[in-house]
Structure 1
């Protein structure tokens, strides 16, 4: 298969002390280093706004129809954190516009939780074995990071990832961080491919009966 595929990478816009959000800087750096010859990297800065995030992510999936999306955000941590789960409700903290989503939901009528199709625990273990500080998490924080992740999982048949990048420590340096992020995303894409092949070889019983 030689056809090119698109991977979306997003970072957030200005927030609190960050006039340029480190997650957006990381997305720009990842576009420069790329993800190999067959992958087109499309980057997008997302405002720290519930309404804008919901609209932008929906439009990205509808118009670009990417293979995968990776959303980056900053955490108060010195580790890289890979998130497994996006949550639909509980968004009570106001965004930079002073707004909270109606009924505190991402998507009215959507499932309460959505997990990425990629096994983030397995990805984390792989990097920990290699001596890298990559942590697995199932709680993306019930703010714009969690909100963006859920929206993307909802619109993508769960073909999305969220990575929290550190705000401090040695891993916060772009020279150290970007190669780790690049390797993480390539590992996730391989997991995605392995999952697809497994499903093709072992279709669900319901699908066989149909």
Structure 2
């Protein structure tokens, strides 16, 4: 059983490609005979984690892939690490703006993704889809959710999970704008690649994909 999540729109955006792409990925994975559920999460500190944890308890998935928007990035970002820090540059969708607060008070400073992100990167490259290993999921609701997910999964044996960021859709970029983007269908294909890799790969690949800065 696979659980996919995306976010509702936030900030000034009227759509969130993470949720649109998750729905497309669910369709293609179900067409392959896989059991997949998809969930749209509120872009809200605290509430997003509670909704996700309820879904994990309800569906009892083997794999959880949460997806969010990273406007300005030009490829699918496979997030390596979630940090125990909320530091919001803008308010969430309920006006909350935590600064220098822990996601889970007293919990570990960070958790690593348990998805095979290096193998997924290789498979994205084989599929001709731009991808990268990202060393930071930020300090907004995406990281908050990623950390909350991994904190919850630390006590659930056998469940693998992680977070990926996706670019803007082309239609989100104003005419003449220079922000990078990725078509919805390609983004959905990328999410499906990550899921298939998680299902077929127990030992992650040894692949150089780090960052100098």
Q: In which range does the TM-score fall when normalised by the shorter chain?
A: 0.7 to 0.9
1:108 matched to 2:118? The reply is: no
- Output the CA distance in 2 between the equivalents of 1:112 and 1:32: 36
**Greater relative contact order structure (CA < 8 Å, 6+ sep):** 2
Secondary structure at 1:181's aligned position in 2? helix
- Deviation by residue 1:155-181 (Cα, 9 ceiling, x = unmatched): 113721211111156862122222222
- Over aligned residues, Cα RMSD in angstroms? 2.3
Structure 1 pair 65–102 and aligned structure 2 pair: CA distance change class (3 A): farther
> Deviation at 1:101?
4.7
Secondary structure at 1:71's aligned position in 2? strand
**TM-score normalised by the chain length of structure 2:** 0.78
Structure 1 pair 14–171 and aligned structure 2 pair: CA distance change class (3 A): closer
Which of 30, 38, 47 is the matching residue for 2:25?
Answer: 30
1:180 matched to 2:190? The reply is: yes
Q: Is 150-159 or 19-28 further displaced after alignment? A: 150-159
- Deviation by residue 1:48-69 (Cα, 9 ceiling, x = unmatched): 1012112112212222211011
- Output the CA distance in 1 between the equivalents of 2:58 and 2:98: 24
Kindly name which structure, 1 or 2, has the bigger radius of gyration based on alpha carbons: 1
> Deviation at 1:122?
3.6
Q: Quick check: 1:51–1:101 contact (8 Å CA) kept in 2?
A: no
**TM-score normalised by the chain length of structure 1:** 0.79
- Output the CA distance in 2 between the equivalents of 1:173 and 1:149: 24
- Output the CA distance in 2 between the equivalents of 1:21 and 1:173: 13
Q: Is 146-155 or 176-185 further displaced after alignment? A: 176-185
- Output the CA distance in 2 between the equivalents of 1:159 and 1:63: 16
1:71 matched to 2:66? The reply is: yes
Secondary structure at 1:172's aligned position in 2? coil
**Structure 2, unpaired ranges of 5+:** 171-179, 205-213
Which of 138, 141, 148 is the matching residue for 1:141?
Answer: 138
Q: Quick check: 2:79–2:162 contact (8 Å CA) kept in 1?
A: yes
Secondary structure at 1:50's aligned position in 2? coil
- Output the CA distance in 2 between the equivalents of 1:155 and 1:147: 12
1:81 matched to 2:81? The reply is: no
- Output the CA distance in 2 between the equivalents of 1:43 and 1:90: 25
Q: Is 129-138 or 59-68 further displaced after alignment? A: 129-138
**Structure 1, unpaired ranges of 5+:** 1-5, 197-210
